[in-house]
Structures are given as structure tokens and as C-alpha cells.
Amino acid sequence: MPPDARPCHPALQAARRPRRVSPVELPTDILVITGQTASGKERLAVTVAERLGGEIISADSMKVYREMEIGTAKAPADQRRAVPHHLLDVADPGETFSTAEWLRRAERAIADVAARSRVPVISGGAPLYLKSLLEGMFEGPAADHALRTRLKEEAEARGAPVLHARLAQVDPLAASRIHPNDLRRITRALEVWELTGTPISELQKQWGSRRPRWRPLVAAIRRERTDLTQRITERIERMMRAGLVDEVRRLAARPGDLARGPRQALGYAEVLEYLDGRLAEKDLVPAIIAHTRQFARRQMTWLSRFPDVVWLDAAPDTPPEALAERIVALWREHVGGTP
């Protein structure tokens, strides 16, 4: 038998076979531009996307809804033509649009943008959207509509703070993080407790536990309180002049009920109260300003918890171009290029 025809030991045969290497899916580089409401993040994101060859993926929980233009400060048509926007106008105002649905669509949009060698620029300030994207989704039990109805009826009869006090007894940590009037989050926390017997704060520890799919650069605009308040006031006054009341009136007149999200959105909730006669005209703008400022404070609390945020301190006279130049330099360093 020729030497090269002799049987080979199985171990040697295995060693000589070409090794099959499983492909390793590298994390996708993404750019997140965020900040409090009215801080200027949308304009900044568009400027950066133009310079980097990027596309905007909206992380705003109300811009997903069609027919909600003025009160959500959606990018005007010329900006959308200059820079493609994703996850705008993808839901009807009568639909409930969940964080899980947004995450599913956002992941698909990021993959599509990156596959075309464009830069995925996530722009928005919805804390739960950003948290789900960067740290993973909290896998809680499915909604129990009968239980939610019971809790809602109890809140209407006795007030949301009564439910908040009950939550404080079974899950003090969750209660400390939720405002006593935030009925939606109180209801969900009590729902999780009643369905599982486990505090939602304990289950939420799974956030951030999975291997990240992204390699994010997170940049957040930060403004002084007086500056932000002035910007909030000016934005709301512009919305009123642009016809916010008429926009909400058209939404309220459409067939079917509005989903909870649109009903409780900044500006929309107050205008609905005004149209129902529960809020005087003179109190309308101050109420929207107060609600928006409260939301901005909660946003900052959330954003401060995200790790490795690059804060962009902006003064009233800081041009968006100056902030954009810094982000572009940070991005090029982030992806390994020359700043």
C-alpha cells in the first residue's frame, strides 16, 4: 500500500481538516443624539446626519403617530427630503404603540441603514425607547386587561396616589421612581406584582443583562434651566400660533377613540381638557408649559443614568453647527478614524 494511502488516525484526520470558523457578528456602530425636550436635538441630529451621510431613526414616542404634526414638532418636509427619517407616522392615533414594537422596528431600521453603509443616527428623548435600545427590553408578563380595568376604576374612584401608596408597600423601590400621579406606570407595576408575586423593580434588573448588539456613541445636549425654560415657552407659543388647538380638535373629531399615548401627550392632553371645558383658555398655555417642564426634569433624571453619555453643554447663543462639529469629531474617533 502506498504510504499516502495508509489509513490515518481519526484524531489526525480531524486535525488536517479545514477548521470551520463561525462568523462573529460584530456590534453595529450607532450614533444617539438625545437631550431634554426643546433642547435642539432634532436640528442637531439633522445637521450631523448631513455631514456624516446618516439617516435619522426617531426615538420619540409621539412622532410615531400620524396626524400629530404641530404638537410633536416633527421635522419639516424639506428636512425629511434632505435626510431620510425613519419611524415617523407609522401608527394611527387610535392604536397603542408599545416600546417593544418601536424596538422591533428600530432594530430593523438600524440594520437597513448600516447595510447601506450609512450612519444610523438615533434622535429623540423617549427614555424607555433609548433604554430598550441600549440595554435590552424588560420581559414582563403580558397585559391583563381585566386587572388594568379594575385598577383604573379604583384610581378614578379613589385617586392615583392611593394606588401609589399600595405600590410603596409591595415595591418601595419602584414607588420611589414613579410619580404618585403617573397612573400608567403605577398600574403596570401593580399588575406585574399581582401576576407574578415579584416586584417589577426586581424583574427590571434583567435590563442591561444581554450582550449589546450596538456600539453606541451617546451624545446629549445639556442646557441651563433658565435657557431650557425659555426655549420650552417659545416652542409652545410657536405651536399655538401654528394651530395646535385646531390640530387637536381634528384628532378628537376623528372616528374612534384616541389611544392613551396621544391623549396624554404634552400639549394634546391640555388642549383636550380645554376643548372639553375643563381648562380655561387663559390657563391653557401655562398648563402646557408646566407639564413640559415636569417632563423635561424626568428626562434629565433618566438620561443621567445612562452610562458613558457625552454631555454637550450649550449656551443660548451656541450655534448647532458648533455642537455638530464636536459630534462629528467624536464619531470619527469612535469608529476609528481621524478626529
Residue 58 belongs to a domain with what CATH number? 3.40.50.300
Q: Is the pLDDT of residue 122 over 60?
A: yes
Query: b or e along 211-223 (b: 16 or more beta carbons within 10 Å of the residue's beta carbon)?
Result: eebbebbbbbbbb
**207 or 326, higher pLDDT:** 326
State the Cα–Cα distance between residues 42 and 241, nearest whole angstrom: 20
Which range among 17-26, 55-64, 163-172 shows the weakest confidence by mean pLDDT? Answer: 17-26
Q: What is the mean pLDDT of residues 255-273?
A: 93
Same domain? For 93 and 234 the reply is: yes
| pLDDT at position 305 | 87
Of 184, 204, 224, the position where a domain reaches its end is 204
Q: Is the pLDDT of residue 4 over 60?
A: no
Q: What is the mean pLDDT of residues 267-284?
A: 97
Domain count, the chain: 2
From the number of C-beta atoms within 10 Å of its C-beta (0-12, 13-18, 19+), residue 191 rates as buried
Q: Is the pLDDT of residue 10 over 90?
A: no
| pLDDT at position 92 | 96
What pTM, to 2 d.p., does this model score? 0.78
11 is a domain residue: no
Question: Around Cβ 322, how many Cβ atoms within 10 Å?
Answer: 12
Q: Which helix (H) or strand (E) holds 88?
A: none
Q: In the predicted model, what is the mean pLDDT of the chain?
A: 88
Same domain? For 223 and 257 the reply is: yes
Task: Indicate which CATH number applies to the domain containing 169.
Answer: 1.10.20.140
Same domain? For 106 and 240 the reply is: yes
| pLDDT at position 25 | 65
Q: Which residues contact 229 (CB under 8 A, 6 or more apart)?
A: 293
58 - beta bridge partners?
Answer: 123
19 is a domain residue: no
163 is a domain residue: yes
User: Which tens digits make up the pLDDT trace of 127-185?
Assistant: 989 988 998 876 677 778 889 999 999 999 999 999 999 999 999 999 998 988 888 88
Same domain? For 232 and 320 the reply is: yes
Taking CA atoms, 35 is separated from 159, 201, 219, 239, in Å, by: 32, 25, 8, 20
216 - beta bridge partners?
Answer: 30
Report the chain's terminal Cα–Cα distance, integer Å.
66
User: Which tens digits make up the pLDDT trace of 281-334?
Assistant: 999 999 999 999 999 999 999 999 888 899 999 999 999 999 999 999 999 999
23 is a domain residue: no
* 271: containing domain: 28-137+207-334
| pLDDT at position 99 | 87
